Structure 1
Amino acid sequence: MRALLAMPAGLPCRMFDADQLARLHTLTGLDPEHTVPALAAAPDQELAEVEVLITGWGSSPVDAAALARMPRLRAIVHTAGTVRFVVTDAVWERGDVLVTSATEANAVPVAEFTLAQILLAGKRSLAQEHRYRRTRRHRAALPEAGLGNHGGVVGLIGASRIGALVAELLRPFDLEVLITDPFASAERVAALGATKVEPRELYARSDVVSLHAPDVPSTQGMVSRELLALMQDGATFVNTARPALVDVDALRDEVVSGRLAAVLDVHDDLAENDPLWDAPLASITPHIAGSQGNELHRMGAAALEEVHRLVHGEPPRYPVDGSARDVSA
């Protein structure tokens, strides 16, 4: 089966370790050192023989012009999450090209990061660290009521693949988990070890609220000023999803005032002088929840499995539904 690494030079060595690249070569005969960053610049003969495109971050779009030069193309195996920047409508309209994504693999580190932040939030670590740095003294009195992860309440907005995985990771802990999601049944939520509630109840009861919803027109601004105002004093809001889902002005007011804490791993629109940067109760990280470093090899392994299945005539594990036209991590 002829395969091609249609991605920027250097990316294969980041996505795949040496053993994985060797297995790719064994399965398809491709040269791990040869990449095609731009399909438009590839020789006609090379594209005419391609059956599988292996794509990733920075890959050029597979448009109608590229498809016309790849009559034997059977599959696009994407090593990253969303395929929206690579797979165009022309691919779906052709109808005979399988598309797979490593979104499930990329969900794992996001869920792990979220779990860590939830447990730290239960200790109110941001507030306690700020107090300790300021006073440089241990508190003489007993810890304040409400601290800790025994009997706390965690609210998850969305039972997406990441939200569901976070719920699963929370099972071993003595925490009550609430989920709000209009598309998830109470039975499905219960199977995750959580309770389905309406948004207002989730915000009002939770010690930590974590956002796991997709960025679509209907969800933009869904975390509103009114809902944030329902959160308890000292509670923490965690966003590893998308910034557009949150009323940032409302969140800024709550965090800068010190009433709420926030963990923000996505924050594309923050100006350099935004007060959130210096707010003691704001943790702002540069989009590190998703796969980093050696975690990329998990996505490489997922893509490698899809190639293996193609070669051996087995059904894909993580096909992308063409009717959805997108997969987000």
Structure 2
Amino acid sequence: MNPLKIVMLQSRHFTDRIFNEAHLSRIRQFGELIVNDSVGNPTPERAAELAEGADMIITSWGCPPLDAQVLDRCPKLGIALHAAGTVKPIVSPALQERGIRVGTANEALARGVAETALGLAIVSLKNMWQLARNTREGEWDKQRERVRELYEVTVGVIGAGLSGRHLIKLLQAFEVRVLVYDPFVNEAAIAGMGAEKVELDALLSGSDVVSIHAPSIPETERMMNARTLGLMKEDAILINTARGSLVDEEALVAELRKGRLWACLDVTDPEPPCADHPFRSLPNVTLLPHIAGAENNGLRRIGAYIATEVERYAVGKPLQGEVDVTQLFRLA
């Protein structure tokens, strides 16, 4: 195997947060590693300069598209590995035209998203948000009767992509029924996960917990709207760790004001919501600052994942996170 020239384009800020020295040492085993030491996000010009002669490029948040300006400087480039989620910000027509492979750490992020969704489901069913408030105010038993367990309830998972699949896997440890809506995944595949494939309306009307894991594409824009939210059961819990654009926020606010639902929102549209947005004051909303995927020590999971992908590529093994860029229209 010839040594590779491997270039990290992201700012030093993201490199230091994602990769520890062990990850970098694993990558260096396969060639020369060039790390961008600049503090701010790289400009297209800086990215092109860094990419000179690269066999492999590693990107992350804040990197510009890998367009002709960058790719002309690295004619031997074989692959771009994205140490983040969606590759849409870095993919360009030039990348596709030149047949350069693309990989993502979406699987590493998806695990964090699924784990967060599971935690929100457990805590919300237990009514812990309200009980903690009541207990601080001296009410020991108030609303204890609203506590439910993650047992013999129905969980609806919208989207059986990476995070949805991992949530389904985690739910196999519980005695619950799992319904899945995903038009791109067939019934047999979903049954193999231990779940049932249903249409969206059936999932919403039959689930005690609804967790959104669908991609942000034109077909999913505001899929949770006045009609679909109205199908949800009384006292159901809506969890959104996907994208804010999937929810019609005005319609959700209207349902929340009726007291019918509890919403756990890690994402909104836009982010953050304005200072006087009802999500900030309604008592039946748990509002989080987009932390589901990876934060702090969780970012190291991305570093480990990318180091493994470098190893797999260098020795000719299939990648775990390779992306078919022709299918971006259906990906998150």
Return the TM-score normalized by structure 1.
0.91
| Partner residue in 1 for 2:318 | 315
Could you tell me how far apart the structure 2 residues matched to 1:290 and 1:327 are?
A: 20
Structure 1 residues 14 and 72, CA gap change in structure 2 (3 angstroms):
same
Preserved CA contact (<8 Å) 2:80 2:102: yes
SS of the counterpart of 2:233?
coil
Identity of aligned residues (%): 35
Q: CA 1:29 to 1:263, structure 2 compared with 1: closer, same or farther past 3 Å?
A: same
Could you say what the CA RMSD is over the residues aligned between the two structures, in angstroms? 2.2
66, 69, 75: which one pairs with 2:70?
Answer: 66
2:284 corresponds to which residue?
Answer: 281
Alignment partner of 1:137 is 2:139? yes
Q: Take 2:277 and 2:169, find their aligned partners in 1: how far apart are those partners?
A: 35
Structure 1: how far apart are the matches of 2:48 and 2:173? 54
Structure 1 residue 156 displacement after superposition: 1.0
Aligned partners of 2:181, 2:320: CA distance in 1, in Å?
A: 28
**Larger mean Cα displacement after TM superposition, 152-161 or 118-127:** 118-127
Summarize the alignment of residues 195-206 of structure 1 with structure 2, pairs less than 5 Å apart: 195-206=196-207
Q: Does 1:92 align with 2:96?
A: yes
* Residue correspondences, number: 325
Residue 256 of structure 1 deviates from its aligned partner by 2.8
Is residue 10 from structure 1 mapped to residue 13 from structure 2 by the alignment?
Answer: yes
Query: Helix, strand or coil for the counterpart of 1:22?
Result: helix
> Which stretch of the first structure deviates more once superposed, 299-308 or 143-152?
143-152
Q: Distance in 1 between matches of 2:315 and 2:166?
A: 30
Q: Secondary structure at the match of 1:323?
A: helix
Contact 1:126 1:261 in 2 (8 A): no
* CA displacement, residues 232-280 of structure 1 (integer Å, 9 cap, x when unaligned): 2221110001111111111111123322110000013332211220111
Q: Is the 8 A contact 1:37 1:59 kept in 2?
A: yes
Q: CA–CA distance in 2 between the matches of 1:31 and 1:49?
A: 11
Alignment CA distance shift 1:203-1:67 (3 Å): same
3-state SS of 1:2 partner: strand
Q: Which amino acid in 1 is paired with 2:171?
A: L
**Which residues of structure 1 form unaligned runs of 5+?**
none
1:51-78 CA-partner distances (Å, limit 9, x unpaired)? 1111111112211121112111111111
1:40 lines up with 2:45 in the alignment = yes
Using structure 2 for the length normalisation, give the TM-score: 0.90
Aligned-partner residue type, residue 258 of structure 1:
G
Contact 1:256–1:275 (CA under 8 A) maintained in structure 2? no
Matches within 5 A, 1:97-112: 97-112=100-115
Q: Which has the bigger relative contact order, CA under 8 A and spacing at least 6?
A: 1
* Contact 1:167–1:192 (Cα < 8 Å) also in 2: yes
What CA distance in whole angstroms lies between the structure 2 residues aligned with 1:227 and 1:326?
23
Q: Can you give the 5+ residue segments of structure 2 that lack an aligned partner in the other structure?
A: none
1:187 matched to 2:188? The reply is: yes
For residues 163-242 of structure 1, the aligned pairs below 5 Å read 163-242=164-243
> Counterpart of 1:215 in 2: which secondary structure?
coil
Q: Name which of structure 1's ranges 20-29 and 218-227 shifts more when overlaid on structure 2.
A: 20-29
Instruction: Report the residue type matching 1:5 in the other structure.
Output: M
CA distance in 1, matches of 2:106, 2:198: 27
Q: Tell me, yes or no, if the aligned pair for 2:109 and 2:293 is still in contact at 8 Å.
A: yes
